[in-house]
Structure 1
Amino acid sequence: MAGGRKQEKLDLIAQRVRAIPDFPKKGILFRDICPILKDPGAVAAVIDLFEEYVRQTNLDIDLIVGLDARGFLFGPLLAQRLGVGFVLVRKKGKLPGPTVSVSYCLEYGKAELEIQEDAVSAGQKVMLIDDLLATGGTLAATCDLMTQKQATVLGCLVVIELKELKGAEKLGTHRLFSLLQY
């Protein structure tokens, strides 16, 4: 994809991100991706750019792993384009059958994520996907969960990265690709 076309797609995506002040609490500027989802062209642009990144970096991916819940919006579309499977990482208690879980700290307490026991096998190469990287706790916990499953995390994809919150630092050596940075 030519550089100009890539920039057009990034511009389209950026135009569809809505800034909502004081949500969920005063002093927070929330970046809303819902307008992206209403525009098929913007959704296609997101998937195009993620696909281009994966193909240009020659990553041999077995699975796309989507984080609860907005990773579920983009993950299956990317997995279909790449011809690979898609699996869910959910909040504790949301998946049927045997699961494997990991606990992690949030600013306001603890949380747990889980994956079905048979969703990822040892040695599989996975790419994680979510809509937003803020403080990095959930994405880092998912990396830990994949390590627990003995999978190889090839990287993390997000639509938006909030740079000032330094979430990428929690990912350690895992590579991060974000379409938009604020």
Structure 2
Amino acid sequence: MTRATDAIETLTELLPDWPQPGILFRDLSPVFADAEALRAVAEALVADFGEVEAIVGIEARGFVLATAAAVATGHGTVLIRKGGKTPPPVISRDYGLEYGEASLELAPARIRPGMRVVVVDDVLATGGTLAAGLELLREAGAEIVGIGVAIELVALEGRAKLGEVPITALQQV
């Protein structure tokens, strides 16, 4: 077991019935609060993808992991935010969540055509959030070389929505 996987396994808190009944929320806040664990997770999320130009984080917990990975690897961070949070001009996508609907947006000026990026988020569940983020990045002209997630909820089959993009999941449950 790697340091990163061990950190996720031992520090993640499980919160049943949050944010609504029937959902088991996996809170990575304790991982974020532990400097050694955060560094190990951040480095492991992007280690498999070779040369990249930026690390993309998806709001909100993906921001923490992407920024930590960017600092650890000497890259910048590009943010994909919830709808209505980014100053224009933006491109946006609506998508379905495990427990609702939402919208993501990206300032396309942050992406150069052909820019090699890795997308980082905390959890891959149904795949809706990441799929919407990938669509935004492709529309902006990015080359997506990989996806790194701390936790993948395998039973929800979100990976199937993401096509052929290589995925590193540090823990699969």
TM-score, with structure 1 as normaliser:
0.87
Q: Quick one: distance in 2 between partners of 1:117 and 1:52? A: 26
| Percent identity of equivalent pairs | 40
Cα displacement (A) at 1:118: 0.6
Secondary structure of the residue that 1:64 maps to in structure 2? strand
8 Å CA contact 1:13–1:45 kept in 2: the answer is no
Partner of 1:91: 82
Partner of 2:134: 143
Amino acid at match of 2:41: V
1:31 aligns with 2:31: no
The 5 A counterparts of 1:45-124 are: 45-54=40-49, 59-106=50-97, 110-124=101-115
Q: Quick one: distance in 2 between partners of 1:90 and 1:8? A: 29
Amino acid at match of 2:27: D
Larger radius of gyration: 1
8 Å CA contact 1:51–1:81 kept in 2: the answer is no
Bigger drift between 158-167 and 16-25 goes to 16-25
Secondary structure of the residue that 2:42 maps to in structure 1? helix
Task: Please identify runs of 4+ aligned residues in structure 1 that moved more than 6 A.
Answer: none
Q: Quick one: distance in 2 between partners of 1:167 and 1:38? A: 28
Gaps of 5+ in 1: 1-5
Which of 162, 169, 175 is 2:153 aligned to?
Answer: 162
TM-score, with structure 2 as normaliser:
0.91
Q: Could you say what the CA RMSD is over the residues aligned between the two structures, in angstroms?
A: 1.7
CA gap 1:151/1:52 in 2 versus in 1, 3 angstroms: closer
Gaps of 5+ in 2: none
- Highest RCO, 1 vs 2 (Cα 8 Å, sep ≥ 6): 2
Partner of 1:131: 122
Cα displacement (A) at 1:140: 0.5
CA gap 1:35/1:107 in 2 versus in 1, 3 angstroms: closer
